C-alpha cells in the first residue's frame, strides 16, 4: 500500500509541474506563435487547391490562402503576410516587432524590407566549411550573415526561449514549489514506513 500511495502522489506532483510549465510557455511564447511554426506556408490550400497559403490569422490561428483571407478581412481578425525570400517563408520584421521580441534574429533583405525567416535553416551540426569566427545560430548551428545575430529564424528563437523558460529564472518558482512538494512526500513516506515496521513484530503484553 505504501508503494501505491507514493506512486499516486508522485504523478500528481509531476502533473502540477507540467501545468506550470505550460503556463510559463504561454507567457514566453504565445500560442499563435507556436502554431505558426507548424503551419505550412506556400503549400496548397485544402479548400482552394489552386491557391497557396501565405497568410496567417492570429485570431483563428490558421494559415490562409488569398481566397480564405477575404473571409477574414475585418477588424476582429489580425492577419500576418508571409513572403517567400530566398525560397523560404518569412515575415517582415516590422510586422513582428509589435507582437513579440524578435531581437537576436538574423535579418535578411527582401524587396527593400528586413525579413525574418520563419523556419530553422540548419541541421544542428556545425558546417565544416564555416570559417573560424563566423557566427552560427545558437539553436541549429546555421551560419549567420550578421555577427551580432543569435538565431537564423523565428523557429530557432522560439525553441531557445522555451528551453530557457524550462531551466532559467522564469521557472525557478515552479521548481521550488515542486521540491517542497517532493520533500513533504518523502517525509510522509518515511513516517508511514516507520509505523509499518513497528507493526511487523507485535509484542505480547507482559504477564502479571
Parse the chain into domains and list their residue ranges.
93-172
Give pLDDT, residue 129.
Answer: 53
Give pLDDT, residue 76.
Answer: 79
Give pLDDT, residue 171.
Answer: 46
Spatial CB neighbours of 65, under 8 Å, sequence gap ≥ 6: 45, 47, 48, 51, 52, 53, 54, 55
pLDDT in tens, the chain (208 residues): 333 333 333 332 223 334 435 666 678 899 999 999 999 999 999 999 999 999 999 999 999 999 999 887 666 789 999 999 989 999 999 999 999 999 999 999 999 999 999 999 988 766 555 555 688 999 999 999 999 999 999 999 999 999 887 644 444 555 555 566 666 666 665 565 555 555 555 555 555 5
Give pLDDT, residue 81.
Answer: 96
Give pLDDT, residue 177.
Answer: 57
Owner of C-alpha cell 537576436: 104
Give pLDDT, residue 168.
Answer: 44
Q: What angle do CA 152, 60, 121 make, to 5 degrees?
A: 15
CA distances from 133 to 39, 50, 128, 139, 184 (A): 34, 45, 13, 17, 50
According to DSSP, residue 153 is labeled: B
Question: For the chain, how far is it from start to end, CA to CA, in angstroms?
Answer: 37
**Rounded distance between C-alpha atoms, residue 86 and residue 63, angstroms:** 20
Spatial CB neighbours of 83, under 8 Å, sequence gap ≥ 6: 54, 89, 90, 91, 92, 110, 111, 113, 115
Assigned C-alpha cell, 159: 525553441
**Rounded distance between C-alpha atoms, residue 208 and residue 205, angstroms:** 9
Cross-strand bridge partners of residue 88? 85
Give pLDDT, residue 166.
Answer: 67
Assigned C-alpha cell, 151: 538565431
Give pLDDT, residue 39.
Answer: 93
Amino acid at each position: 500500500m505504501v508503494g501505491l500511495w507514493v506512486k499516486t502522489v508522485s504523478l500528481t506532483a509531476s502533473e502540477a509541474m507540467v501545468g506550470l510549465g505550460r503556463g510559463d510557455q504561454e507567457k514566453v511564447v504565445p500560442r499563435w506563435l507556436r502554431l505558426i511554426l507548424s503551419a505550412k506556408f506556400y503549400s496548397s490550400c485544402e479548400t482552394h487547391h489552386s491557391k497557396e497559403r501565405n497568410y496567417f490569422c492570429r485570431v483563428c490561428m490558421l494559415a490562409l490562402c488569398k481566397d480564405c483571407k477575404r473571409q477574414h478581412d475585418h477588424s476582429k481578425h489580425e492577419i500576418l503576410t508571409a513572403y517567400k525570400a530566398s525560397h523560404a517563408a518569412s515575415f517582415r520584421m516590422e510586422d513582428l516587432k509589435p507582437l513579440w521580441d524578435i531581437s537576436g534574429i538574423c535579418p535578411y533583405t527582401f524587396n527593400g524590407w528586413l525579413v525574418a525567416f520563419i523556419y530553422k535553416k540548419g541541421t544542428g551540426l556545425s558546417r565544416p566549411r564555416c570559417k573560424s569566427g563566423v557566427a552560427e545560430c545558437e539553436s541549429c548551428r546555421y551560419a549567420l550573415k550578421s555577427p551580432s545575430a543569435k538565431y537564423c529564424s523565428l523557429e530557432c528563437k522560439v525553441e531557445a526561449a522555451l528551453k530557457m523558460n524550462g531551466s532559467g529564472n522564469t521557472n525557478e518558482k515552479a521548481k521550488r514549489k515542486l521540491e517542497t512538494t517532493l520533500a513533504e512526500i518523502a517525509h510522509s513516506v518515511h513516517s508511514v514506513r516507520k509505523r509499518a515496521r513497528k507493526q511487523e513484530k507485535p509484542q505480547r503484553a507482559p504477564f502479571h
